[in-house]
């Protein structure tokens, strides 16, 4: 625990601090970018891009070894992975546009073929006698242990660039994500915007290979956006919250990896991200499970209170135990079931409000708030005192006619 706290406070060495900053920048870029592919309903595209990087990594390794270089040079491996992922994304786009196959089928086909080809190349690499292939499998699950200084700098710079590109393109991507037809009418090139979004996914995927790994980078693109969705309805806030969740996950996961080098970095980052998702799912104030449960219980209580007060006003017996419990909770009836003074007053008002709403539905048919009346909204929240007085006058006239 002490080592983890030291890593969080950037006291575990310069290299570990740089890795943590780079992972945080990666998480920010991944969270923000993932928001737009989540809103565009194209989350599986990121999975295809991630798995398609494997053959590029292997081919780049083999090419660098063939030319006498270091096969594990991160810049070369990133270039190779970007090239193969770009080819995969182009193939997915071409198949979905030029054939009758839906996009998910195209993604499944391209993903499986590229990943299978990468596994074959990985097996071939393991038989090579040169190139320092040991540790190349860390690109599958991510590993920051032993990361070189220049590799950490490369990841940090690339993460910052991805974040800057996201900032520049977010308005166009927001418009296309919600209404591509309207975006086209306003002069936005939908196809180029989609390609730019996929380009950002590609950038995030490539720079995340060393930190999170190609298997788990898709989680960094999707989980922060899904978690952020529980907290807000506004796109700008959604992007910001997703970026914060991604950044916190990346930074905390890198710190944990520095403290416990034998634990896969990608797995730790994803688990932290999922933990934040679970907190969002449970405790978000609008969409969270706890808030939804509270609203359901509150609604039930309001229904039982209203029905109980109407029964008291009409002199009807109450047999429902929950209704009796609610009336007792608010002090409207005694333990023996007899209405209290406050209960009789509340019951009389409830009955009066029922009559008011009945008249209001007849005289305010064009008012949507009246049309949507559920029997639980206080009439004072819909009508002014003068309007309520007019409703009471109409009720009085109606009673006089009946008499």
Write out the E strands in 88-241. Answer: none
CA dihedral (68, 73, 76, 81) positive or negative: positive
Cβ count near 252 (within 10 Å)? 23
Pick from 134-138, 191-195, 240-244, 380-384 the range whose average pLDDT is largest: 240-244
Count H helices, E strands: the chain?
18, 0
Between CA 297 and CA 329 the distance in angstroms is 14
Q: At what angle do helices 43-51 and 53-66 cross, to 10 degrees?
A: 20
- Termini Cα distance of the chain: 82
Give mean pLDDT, residues 109-127: 87
SS3 category, 339: strand
Between CA 204 and CA 86 the distance in angstroms is 13
Tens of pLDDT, residues 76-101: 888 888 899 889 988 988 888 888 88
Is-above-0.85 flag for pTM? no
Q: 13, 181 in Cβ contact below 8 A?
A: no
- Count the alpha carbons within 13 Å of 320 in the hemisphere toward its beta carbon: 16
Name every residue whose Cβ is closer than 8 Å to that of residue 321 and which is 6 or more positions away in sequence.
Answer: none
SS3 category, 366: coil
Cβ count near 372 (within 10 Å)? 8
- List the domains of the chain with CATH numbers: 2-282 (1.10.3470.10), 290-402 (no CATH)
* Average confidence score pLDDT of the chain: 83
Tens of pLDDT, residues 309-368: 989 998 888 888 899 999 999 999 988 888 899 999 999 988 888 888 888 877 776 666
Question: Which tokens sit at 307?
Answer: 């029905």
């Amino acid at each position: 625990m002490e080592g983890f706290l030291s890593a969080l406070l950037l006291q575990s060495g310069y290299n570990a601090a740089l890795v943590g900053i780079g992972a945080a920048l990666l998480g920010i870029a991944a969270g923000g970018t993932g928001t737009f592919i989540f809103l565009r309903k194209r989350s599986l595209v990121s999975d295809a891009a991630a798995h398609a990087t494997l053959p590029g990594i292997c081919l780049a390794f083999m090419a660098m070894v063939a030319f006498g270089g270091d096969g594990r040079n991160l810049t070369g491996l990133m270039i190779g992975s970007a090239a193969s992922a770009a080819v995969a994304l182009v193939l997915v786009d071409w198949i979905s546009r030029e054939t009758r196959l839906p996009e998910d089928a195209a993604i499944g086909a391209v993903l499986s073929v590229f990943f299978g080809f990468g596994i074959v190349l990985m097996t071939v690499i393991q038989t090579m006698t040169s190139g320092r292939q040991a540790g190349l499998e860390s690109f599958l699950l991510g590993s920051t242990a032993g990361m070189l200084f220049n590799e950490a700098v490369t990841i940090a710079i690339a993460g910052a660039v991805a974040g800057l590109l996201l900032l520049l393109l977010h308005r166009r991507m927001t418009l296309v994500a919600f209404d591509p037809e309207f975006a086209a009418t306003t002069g936005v090139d939908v196809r180029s915007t989609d390609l730019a979004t996929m380009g950002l996914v590609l950038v995030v995927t490539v720079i995340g290979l060393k930190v999170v790994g190609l298997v788990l980078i898709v989680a960094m693109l999707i989980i922060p956006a899904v978690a952020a969705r529980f907290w807000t309805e506004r796109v700008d806030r959604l992007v910001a919250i997703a970026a914060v969740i991604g950044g916190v996950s990346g930074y905390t996961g890198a710190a944990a990896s520095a403290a416990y080098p034998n634990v896969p970095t990608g797995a730790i980052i994803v688990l932290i991200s999922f933990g934040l998702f679970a907190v969002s799912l449970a405790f978000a104030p609008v969409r969270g499970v706890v808030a939804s449960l509270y609203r359901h219980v509150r609604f039930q209580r309001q229904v039982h209170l209203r029905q109980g007060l109407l029964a008291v006003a009409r002199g009807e017996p109450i047999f429902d135990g929950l209704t009796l419990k609610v009336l007792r909770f608010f002090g409207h009836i005694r333990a023996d079931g007899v209405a209290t003074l406050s209960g009789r007053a509340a019951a009389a008002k409830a009955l009066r409000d029922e009559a008011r709403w009945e008249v209001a539905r007849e005289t305010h048919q064009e008012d949507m708030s009246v049309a949507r009346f559920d029997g639980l909204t206080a009439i004072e929240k819909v009508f002014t005192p003068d309007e309520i007085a007019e409703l009471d006058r109409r009720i009085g006239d109606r009673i006089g006619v009946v008499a």
